[in-house]
């Protein structure tokens, strides 16, 4: 009699499902910067991949101001020399320290060097769930870490802005700031270079 009672009780009480561990939350995607923004990249370079023969190259700082399809790079080299580069649409106009004023070289967005400027955050293409290796802390800041082929990228939690990129030859640290209220204006020497290149290159048309 008791056994029949226990059997009926067992049929009435639903079985408890085994506990399942919650899946970890996916990392945020890489942030897309607003149309008007400013950031600074501090670059610490190395000369070789071998620590035994490595010589630090000093620190390079790039201040990037973006406004729509227009952006300006102010680069301060480790020896203190400065240079200014401009991206107009998919084209890069740059001059190196020591070049005479107004002398800018032109590269299209298809060029490997130009892509380092026309893209927002080069190297952060590895920010993808397939390369996600977990949360981390940098300088007490909660970040998400991604690793692929010797490159490590860290992005901010929870907004997804770049924090650091480390490759065998350099470390890039990112800081962001609100863009100045004043608009980004092309200087006269850049406008003159644009007009000259448009005159010399059939079909070329800058579209800021």
Within 10 Å of residue 160's Cβ, how many Cβ atoms? Answer: 17
Considering the domain boundaries, does residue 195 fall inside one? yes
Asked whether residue 5 is domain-assigned, the answer is no
- Predicted pLDDT at 19: 47
pLDDT of residue 16: 47
Encoded tokens for 43: 């670059």
Q: What is the pLDDT of residue 142?
A: 96
Task: Give the CA radius of gyration of the chain.
Answer: 26
Angle at Cα 65 formed by Cα 147 and Cα 196, nearest 5°?
Answer: 115
* Cα angle: 98, vertex 104, 110; to 5 degrees: 125
Q: Which domain holds residue 85?
A: 28-200
Kindly state the tokens that stand for 145.
Answer: 């870490």
φ/ψ (deg, to 5) at 146: -130, 140
Q: What pLDDT does residue 78 have?
A: 83
How far apart CA 30 and CA 42 sit, in angstroms, is 19
The answer to whether residue 207 is domain-embedded is: no
> 62 in a domain, yes or no?
yes
Neighbour tally for 190: CB within 10 Å: 20
Q: Is residue 8 part of a domain?
A: no
Q: Which residues pair with 91 in a beta bridge?
A: 88, 108
Three-state SS string over the chain comes to CHHHHHHHHHHHCCCCCCCCCCCCCCCCCCCCCCCEEEEEEEEEEECCCCCCCCCEEEEEEEEEEEECCEEEEEEECCCCCEEEEEEECCEEEECCCCCCCCCCEEEECCCHHHHHHHCCCCCHHHCCHHHEEEEEEECCEEEEEEEECCEEEEEECCCCCEEEEECCCEEEEEEEECCCCCCCCCCHHHHHHHHHHHHHCCCCCCCC
**Which domain CATH number covers 34?**
2.50.20
Q: Is 11 domain-assigned? A: no
Predicted local confidence at residue 47, as pLDDT: 59
Judge whether 77 lies within some domain.
Answer: yes
Q: Is 3 inside a domain boundary?
A: no
Q: Output the tens digit of pLDDT for each of the chain's 208 residues.
A: 444 433 343 334 444 444 454 556 788 999 998 889 999 999 998 755 555 655 666 789 999 999 988 999 999 988 888 889 999 999 999 987 777 777 889 998 788 888 889 988 999 999 999 999 999 999 889 999 999 999 999 999 999 999 999 999 899 999 999 888 899 999 999 999 999 999 988 888 887 6
């Amino acid at each position: 009699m008791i056994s029949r009672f226990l059997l009926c009780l067992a049929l009435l009480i639903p079985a408890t499902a085994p506990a399942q561990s919650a899946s970890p939350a996916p990392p945020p995607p890489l942030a897309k910067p607003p149309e008007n923004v400013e950031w600074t990249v501090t670059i610490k370079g190395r000369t070789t991949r071998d620590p035994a023969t490595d010589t630090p190259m000093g620190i390079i700082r790039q201040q990037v101001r973006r406004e729509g399809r227009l952006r300006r790079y102010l680069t301060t080299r480790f020896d203190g020399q400065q240079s200014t580069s401009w991206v107009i649409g998919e084209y890069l106009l740059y001059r190196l320290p020591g070049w005479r004023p107004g002398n800018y070289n032109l590269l299209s967005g298809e060029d490997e060097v130009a892509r380092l400027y026309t893209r927002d955050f080069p190297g952060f293409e590895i920010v993808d769930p397939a390369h996600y290796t977990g949360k981390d802390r940098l300088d007490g800041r909660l970040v998400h870490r991604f690793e692929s082929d010797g490159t490590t990228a860290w992005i901010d939690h929870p907004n997804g802005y770049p924090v650091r990129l480390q490759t065998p030859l350099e470390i890039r640290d990112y800081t962001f700031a609100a863009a100045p209220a004043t608009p980004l204006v092309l200087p006269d020497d850049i406008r003159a270079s644009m007009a000259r290149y448009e005159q010399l290159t059939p079909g070329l048309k800058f579209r800021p």
